[in-house]
Amino acid sequence: MVSGTLPTWDAIVVGGGHNGLVCAAYLARGGLRTLVLERRETVGGAAATAELEPGVRIPLVADTVGRLRPAIARDLRLHDHGLRLIAPAVRAFAPQPDGRAVTLWADVERTARDLGEWSAADAAAYPVFDARVRVFGRFLAGFGDTTPPDLHAPGLADALAGLRLGRAWRGLGTVDGRALLRALPMAVADFVGEAFESEAVRATLATRGVRYAALGPWSAGSTAHLLTDSAAPGAGAAGQTVFAVGGPGALADALAAAARAAGATIRTGEGVRRVATLDGRVQGVVLASGEEVAAPIVVSALDPKRTLLGLLDPVELGPTMVWRAGNLRLGGVVAKVDLALAGLPHFPAAGEGPTAERRLRGRILVGATSIDDLERAFDASTVGRLSDAPFLEATIPSLADPSLVVGAREPRHVMSVLVQWAPYHRREGDWDADRKRLGDLVLARLDEVAPGIGALVTARRVLTPLDLEREFGMTEGHPLHGEPGLDQWFAWRPMAGLGRYRLPVGGLYLAGSGAHPGGGITGAPGANAAREVLADRRAGLP
């Protein structure tokens, strides 16, 4: 028992990122007196909107929110709490060296028509490929909403032997079931290579298999990553591109409002120093200020490494768990560049006029020109270097959502750029010294597809992997709280024995992206963790 305080709380959620908020909202709805503690001054974590210059707001880290589970939006009535979504007709636009571009639209037929410019065979293959990705995505969405099985349960054998892996698995049928099992461990280069012949088309479709991950297109398991990303409503092969009006911070605000409406209390500017334990049970938390807050349940929405090694006493964990936690693969490989622009940059590959502008409303892929080009950009990261030609995924959210720049004194656009394969662990050099160099490199890379963009920049912010760690507490700068490889997946995410949201201290749970089904703004880990907390409580466990 933490001395001197009466337990006013049933549950404390450490970390007010989107998963922490989702979890808190569900806990509060379940009748628990719930307190959320967020170290930063605003909630949302990586789902944040920040001002870049006066009146100009930009998604700080994540830029789209389309993977949010529809059930969560419904349960928490996020629309009532102010969430508005915009889904442009275009999903992705990938300029190519010859001046053309691959464009993926929400409309499958339109995409197929456009792909005809690259290859008639690819145009014909696209709807089939898209349909298959949708089938897999639907299955994985259901899979993601499910708490993984206990790998020690005696019933596990029967489940596998009798193939009672659930109705969803049977629903897949023979052909899709076999195809899915074959696809998951595949390299995404093979997955797209089997369906398409044009390098530009292959690369464009493959990018979601490597985004945010220390994977290259030839890495096994990148297909699983692509399909997990496709577990979003209507994502399909093109992937979703859905913006929240007001940026991802608006989602965070809606989630916070929902949590508060359900009865949760949110305190910002309150970092947690450690989780207090006694005899293998959680007692509460100790704040950075030294204040002790008691609660029988603590849910961490921080990454698993920080949770296990940063918040807990190593003696409590024991040497084996400390060793295993230290081996969690979290080395981040992405950086973020935010730009304020004096006007809309000109992308010659998009053509001219209003059509051109429509092509720029989704994800703009720079460097998705061939599988080999992507792989080369990845190669550098495997030996701890930043590629000279990194892959970039940019959005210009102010096109679809002018509210972001409505307060600007002069006309403005904002561009949010994800830099892929900027490794946190570098062999030489350090990120603090190279922040400007990274920004310049990104602008030079953008200039290749949008000549003159540099002259439009009125403000920029560079977040290196080191900044992501410092600012958002993502250990080793990993935005997904852990590599999404098949070795940290499903019932063994973050590791075998901890795959069911329960950590090795009684009453301590994991609700962040380091838990199944992993990273991205889905809210699923938070919702699943809340369900398990409530189930344990009903069972009288904590």
Partner 1 sequence: MAQRYDAIVIGGGHNGLVGGAYLARAGLRTVVLEQRHVLGGAAATEEVVPGFRFTVFSYVVSLLRPEIIRELELPRHGLAILPLDGTFTPLDDDYLWRVDDHGRTMRELRRWSRLDAEAYEEYGRLMVEMARFVKPVLSMVPPDPTVLDPRPWLPVGALARRFAELSDRQQQAFIQLMTMSSADFLDQWFETDPLKATMSASGIIGTFLGVRSPGTAYVLLHHYMGEIDGAFRAWGLPRGGTGGISNAIGAAARAFGAEVRTEARVERILVRDGRATGVVLEGGETLEADDVLSSLDPRQTFERLLEPDVLPTEARLELGRFKYRGSSGKVNLALDGLPDFRCLPGPGDHLRGAMSFSPSVDYMVRAYEDAKYGRFSRRPYVDCVIPTLTDPSMAPPGKHVMSCFVQYAPYQLAEGEGTWDDQREAFGEAVIDTIEERAPNIRSLIVGRQVLTPLDIERTIGLSEGNIFQGELTLEQLFFNRPVPGWTGFRTPLRDLWLCGSAVHPGGGIMGAPGRLAALEVLRARRDGRRGQRAEKTTSGEATGPGSGGLPGAALGGVGSAGRAARRAFDTLRDAAAAAGRGREGGTGW
Residues that bind partner 1 (CB under 8 A): 128, 131-132, 151-154, 156-163, 170, 172-179, 181-186, 190, 194, 215, 218-221, 320, 324, 327, 329, 372, 375-376, 379, 382-383, 485-487, 489, 492, 495-497
Beta carbon of residue 426, minimum distance to partner 1 (angstroms, whole number): 14
Which residues, listed in sequence order, are joined to residue 393 by a DSSP beta bridge? 365, 418
Q: How far is the CB of 79 from partner 1 (least distance, A)?
A: 35
Distance of CA 152 to the CA centre of its chain: 29
CB 510 within 8 A of CB 275: no
**What stretch of H or E contains 25?**
helix 18-29
Amino acid (one-letter) located at 446 = L
Write down the least CB distance from residue 530 to partner 1, Å.
Answer: 24
**152 or 538: whose CB is closer to partner 1?**
152
298 touches 11 (CB < 8 A): yes
CA distance 239 to 232: 8
C-beta closer to partner 1: residue 134 or 461: 134
Pairing of strands 281-287, 272-278: antiparallel
What's the min distance (Å) between Cβ of 518 and partner 1? 14
Q: What is the DSSP string of 184-246?
A: TTSBHHHHHHTT---HHHHHHHHGGGTTTSS--TTSBTHHHHHHHHT-STT-GGG----EETT
d(CA 531, CA 26): 8
Q: How far is the CB of 367 from partner 1 (least distance, A)?
A: 16
Taking phi over 0 as left and psi of -120 to 50 as alpha, with beta for the rest, 406 belongs to: alpha
User: CA-to-CA distance for 237 and 213, rounded, in angstroms?
Assistant: 18
Residue with smaller CB distance to partner 1, 157 or 539: 157
The DSSP output letter for 98 is T
CA separation for the pair 44, 41 (Å, rounded): 10
Contact 253, 65 (CB under 8 A): no
What is 54-66 written as a DSSP string?
Answer: TTEEEESS----T
Distance between CA atoms of residues 414 and 210, nearest Å: 25
Contact 445, 335 (CB under 8 A): no
Q: In whole angstroms, what is the distance from residue 420 CA to residue 399 CA?
A: 23
Q: Which is nearer to partner 1, 226 or 244 (CB)?
A: 226
Q: Which is nearer to partner 1, 190 or 471 (CB)?
A: 190
If the CB atoms of residues 169 and 342 are measured against partner 1, the closer one turns out to be: 169
- Minimum CB distance to partner 1 smaller for 147 or for 403: 147
Cβ-based neighbours of 382, under 8 Å, separated by 6 or more? 216
Q: Minimum distance between the CB of residue 401 and partner 1, rounded to whole angstroms? A: 36
User: How near is the Cβ of 172 to partner 1 at its closest, in Å?
Assistant: 8
- Nearer residue to partner 1 within complex by CB, 160 or 278: 160
Q: How many Cβ atoms sit within 10 Å of the Cβ of residue 176?
A: 17
Nearer to partner 1, 31 or 97 (CB): 97
Which residues are CB-neighbours of 535 under 8 A, at least 6 positions away? Answer: none
Number of CB atoms found within 10 A of residue 198's CB:
18
Residue closer to partner 1, measured from CB, 175 or 406: 175
Output 119 or 492, the one with its CB closest to partner 1: 492
Q: CA separation (Å) from 216 to 223, 287, 377, 383, 404? A: 11, 40, 8, 13, 34
Q: How far is the CB of 225 from partner 1 (least distance, A)?
A: 11
CB of 218 to partner 1, least distance (A): 7
Closer by beta carbon to partner 1, 51 or else 379? 379
CB of 287 to partner 1, least distance (A): 31
Q: How far is the CB of 538 from partner 1 (least distance, A)?
A: 25
Least Cβ distance, residue 156 to partner 1 (angstroms): 5
**Dihedral sign, Cα of residue 306, residue 308, residue 314, residue 316:** positive
